[in-house]
C-alpha cells in the first residue's frame, strides 16, 4: 500500500474503505451494516477528505474539519484561493459553482490536473450562500494614527515639521481629521502611521485596497498637493507593497483616493504597517493652505 499523508491540522474519524482509496480526495459515507466510505463523484455530496491512501477493507481516516491537502483539477476551470470546491470523478476536487454543494475552500491556486493544494474542510454547504464578499471596508480610526518615527506617541494637536496633526473636532458638529501645517508660500512633507492586522475572514492572496478620503482646505496650492502611501507587511518588513504612486489631492472638494496593495503571499494575521505622506508645494501664498485626511479604510475580500 502506498501511503499518501495529507497533513491535516485536526484529527479525523475512522471508517472502513469500501475499495482501495487514494489519500487527499473527497469521500462519502455509505454501507448498511457498518460505516464505510468511497469516493464522492460528480453531482454527489462529499462528507470529507480521506487523509491517506487506504486499502479496501481497512480503516481509513476521514477529515470533516481542519486544514489539509486535496487533489484537484484546475485545468478547465482554474482554482484560486478562496474558491469553494466540490467532488468530480473519483473524488478529485474542482471549483464549485452557484447552487453546488461545497465541502472545502481552496487556500492555494491550481491551473492543472493532478495538483495537490491546501484546503480548509467545511460542513457541506450550498455555494449560493458562500460567495466571497468583495471590497468589504475595515476602518482605520483617525485617532489610531501615530507619529511615524515614534509609535509610542499619538499625533500632535499641532502639525510639526514632518508630523501631521490630529484635529479633534467638536462632538456633534465636526468630525476628527488629520491635518498638515499651513504651507502657503513654501513646501512641506509630513507623515502619519498606523498598523492593521488582516482579519481571520480575509481570503489569503485576494485584493487589498487602501482608500483615503482627503483634500485641501480653504486654498489650493499653486504647484502641488499630493498624498502617498507606503505599506510594509510583518512577513516582509523591508519591501514596500503599495503599488500606487502619490496622487493629487489639490482640490477643495475632498475625494477618495485608492492605493493598491500587492496581496501576493498575504494571509489572515499578517500586519500591514501603513505610512501616509502628505506633500505640498506652493509659491504664491494666496491664503491659509492645509491638507486634510478625513477618513481611511482598508477594502478586503472576505469569506462569505
Domains of the chain, by residue range, sit at 13-127, 135-302
pLDDT at 191 over 90: yes
Residue recorded with cell 495529507 = 6
Q: Which residues contact 68 (CB under 8 A, 6 or more apart)?
A: 6, 7, 8, 9, 24, 49, 51, 118, 119, 121
* 273-295 average pLDDT score: 97
Domain covering 135-302: architecture: Sandwich (2.60)
pLDDT at 44 (0 to 100): 94
Q: How far apart are CA 92 and CA 76, in angstroms?
A: 13
> pTM for the complete prediction?
0.61
pLDDT digits (tens, 9 = 90+) for 29-70: 986 545 899 999 998 999 999 999 999 999 999 999 888 899
Class of domain 13-127: mainly beta
At residue 32, the pLDDT reads 57
Residue 37, CA atoms < 13 Å, CB-side half-sphere: 35
Give the gyration radius of the chain's Cα atoms: 26
Distance CA 72, CA 164 (A): 51
Query: What phi and psi values does residue 89 have, to the nearest 5 degrees?
Result: -55, 135
pLDDT at 2: 38
- Show the CA angle centred on residue 185, arms to residues 179 and 188, nearest 5°: 40
Amino acid at each position: 500500500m502506498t501511503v499518501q499523508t495529507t497533513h491535516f491540522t485536526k484529527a479525523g474519524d475512522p471508517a472502513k474503505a469500501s475499495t482501495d482509496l487514494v489519500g487527499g480526495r473527497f469521500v462519502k459515507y455509505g454501507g448498511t451494516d457498518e460505516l464505510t466510505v468511497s469516493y464522492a463523484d460528480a453531482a454527489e455530496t462529499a462528507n470529507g477528505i480521506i487523509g491517506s491512501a487506504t486499502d479496501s477493507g481497512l480503516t481509513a481516516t476521514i477529515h470533516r474539519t481542519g486544514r489539509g491537502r486535496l487533489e484537484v483539477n484546475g485545468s478547465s476551470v482554474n482554482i484560486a484561493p478562496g474558491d469553494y470546491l466540490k467532488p468530480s470523478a473519483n473524488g478529485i476536487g474542482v471549483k464549485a459553482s452557484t447552487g453546488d454543494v461545497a465541502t472545502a475552500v481552496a487556500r492555494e491556486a491550481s491551473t492543472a490536473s493532478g495538483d495537490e493544494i491546501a484546503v480548509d474542510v467545511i460542513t457541506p454547504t450550498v455555494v449560493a450562500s458562500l460567495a466571497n464578499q468583495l471590497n468589504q471596508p475595515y476602518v482605520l480610526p483617525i485617532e489610531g494614527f501615530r507619529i511615524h518615527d515614534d509609535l509610542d506617541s499619538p499625533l500632535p494637536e499641532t502639525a510639526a515639521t514632518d508630523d501631521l496633526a490630529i484635529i479633534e473636532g467638536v462632538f456633534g458638529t465636526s468630525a476628527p481629521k488629520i491635518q498638515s501645517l499651513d504651507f502657503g508660500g513654501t513646501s512641506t512633507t509630513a507623515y502619519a502611521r498606523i498598523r492593521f492586522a488582516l482579519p481571520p475572514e480575509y481570503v489569503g492572496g485576494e485584493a487589498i485596497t487602501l482608500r483615503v478620503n482627503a483634500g485641501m482646505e480653504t486654498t489650493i496650492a499653486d504647484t502641488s498637493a499630493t498624498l502617498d502611501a507606503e505599506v510594509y507587511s510583518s512577513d516582509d518588513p523591508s519591501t514596500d507593497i503599495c503599488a500606487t504612486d502619490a496622487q493629487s489631492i489639490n482640490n477643495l472638494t475632498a475625494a477618495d483616493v485608492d492605493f493598491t496593495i500587492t496581496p501576493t503571499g498575504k494571509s489572515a494575521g499578517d500586519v500591514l504597517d501603513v505610512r501616509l505622506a502628505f506633500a505640498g508645494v506652493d509659491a504664491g501664498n494666496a491664503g491659509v493652505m492645509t491638507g486634510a485626511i478625513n477618513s481611511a479604510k482598508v477594502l478586503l475580500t472576505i469569506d462569505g
